[in-house]
Amino acid sequence: QSVLTQPPSVSAAPGQKVTISCSGSTYNIGKNYVCWYQQLPGTAPKVLIYDSDKRPSGIPDRFSGSKSGTSATLGITGLQTGDEADYYCGTWDSRLSAGVFGTGTRVTVL
Amino acid sequence: QVQLEQSGAEVKQPGASVKVSCKVTGDALSDLSIHWVRQAPGEGLEWMGGFDPEEGETYYAQNFQGRLILTEDISTDTTYMELRSLRSEDTAVYYCTRSEDSFDLWGQGTMVTVSS
C-alpha cells in the first residue's frame, strides 16, 4: 500500500557498511526532498537525514543520504550494535498532496 | 526546548470516535506545522494528515477521508486528531510530529486500542 518501496531487511557485521534503497516515482522522490528516520523498538522515529543528504546536528557522519531520479539511498558505515533498528524513508507526494513513508527496512548487526 | 505532549492511551469500541491531543510547549502552535502519523502493531509508519500554516491548508491522507478531523486551539497551543467510525484496524500508536525540513520532533505517542 505504501508508495515508497524499501527492502524488508539488510544485515552486516559490526564495522561494515549497509545501504538501504527507497524507490518511488516522479511525483514523490522525483520532485521532493527525502528524509530518513531511525526507529528503535518502542520509541518514536528520529530523523537521520533531511533534504535528501543533510544530517541534523548530533547525527554522526556514519549516516549519509543521497538521491538520484526517483530513488534515494541511506548509507550506514562502521555499523554498530546500536544501529539495529527499523529505518524509513519519507517524502511528500505532489500528486496525492500527502506525506508518504517507505515500507521500512530492519537493519540487523550480525 | 520545544516539546510535544500527547494525551494518554485510549480503549474504544468499534464504531466509536477517539480524540487525541498534542500540546506544544516551548513554542507557539501558530508558528508550527503539526502532522499526525500512526503505526499499527508490527507495522510501518503511516502518514495521516497535517496542517500547513503557510498555505493555511489541512491535508488528509486519502485512506482517512471523511473519518479524520484535525483541529487546533491556538489559545492553548493544543492540536487534536479525531478519528471516527473506529474499526479494529485502527488499533495503533498515534504520533503528532513537527514538520520543518523533516518530521524533526515527535510526541511520545498515544496507544489507541479498538476492541469490543
In this prediction, residues A63-82 reach a mean pLDDT of: 97
Say whether pLDDT at A1 is over 70.
no
Chain B residues whose CB is inside 8 A of the A37 CB are 45, 102-103
Q: Looking at the complex, report in whole angstroms how far the Cα of residue B60 sits from the nearest Cα belonging to chain A.
A: 7
In this prediction, residues A44-50 reach a mean pLDDT of: 98
Beta bridge partners of B114: B12
Give the residue among B97, B60, B47, B42 at the shortest CA–CA distance from A91: B47
In the prediction, which pLDDT does B30 show?
Answer: 86
Say whether pLDDT at A47 is over 90.
yes
Q: Does B45 touch chain A (CB under 8 A)?
A: yes
pLDDT < 50 positions in chain B: none
- Maximum distance among all alpha carbons in chain B? 41
